[in-house]
Amino acid sequence: MQKDILSDIILQMKNYYSTIDPQGLIIFEDLFTKTGETYSGSEGQEYYFSKILSLNNILQHKFPIIIDSFREGELSSSKELLMLNEYISLNKQVILTSTLKDEEYDADKYYNIENLNVIDYSMLADSKILQSDFASEFKQILAKFNVENN
């Protein structure tokens, strides 16, 4: 049964990968990469995308999917849109973080995609929470979660 599940996951990984990058050269043989084998750039993004969605579908877990630094690998816009549509089609909470370029802000790139909830934190001060001036405010927030001050 374990081999069948692993086989199903790898098959789905191949399917997702070919949807995102039909000309791609990655060959999935196992759930994990081989020793010394690493994927970087857009290949890395495509690999993790394929793996995460396949695990989600086969295991049918109820947890949200969280991807930090989505687009880190400099995905093409067409691949990015395909990935976003796949995430949206899951009908579950998916949280993607990304640092946008000025052109993307200027074009309101993500505001026009249906079923995408954009939260822009760019107006917040960087590292505010790490400044001692805001320590008491941060402690008040922690208290709401029953985190004790040490």
Global confidence as pTM: 0.76
Q: What is the DSSP string of 72-90?
A: TT---HHHHHHHHHHHHHT
Torsion of CA 47, 95, 20, 38, to 10 degrees: -20
Sequence-separated (6 or more) residues with CB below 8 Å from residue 141: none
What are 27-53's pLDDT values in tens digits?
888 888 877 777 788 888 899 999 999
Q: Provide Rg for the chain, Cα atoms.
A: 19
Tokens standing for 70? 């989505």
Give pLDDT tens digits for 74-119: 788 889 999 999 999 999 999 988 887 778 777 888 888 888 888 8
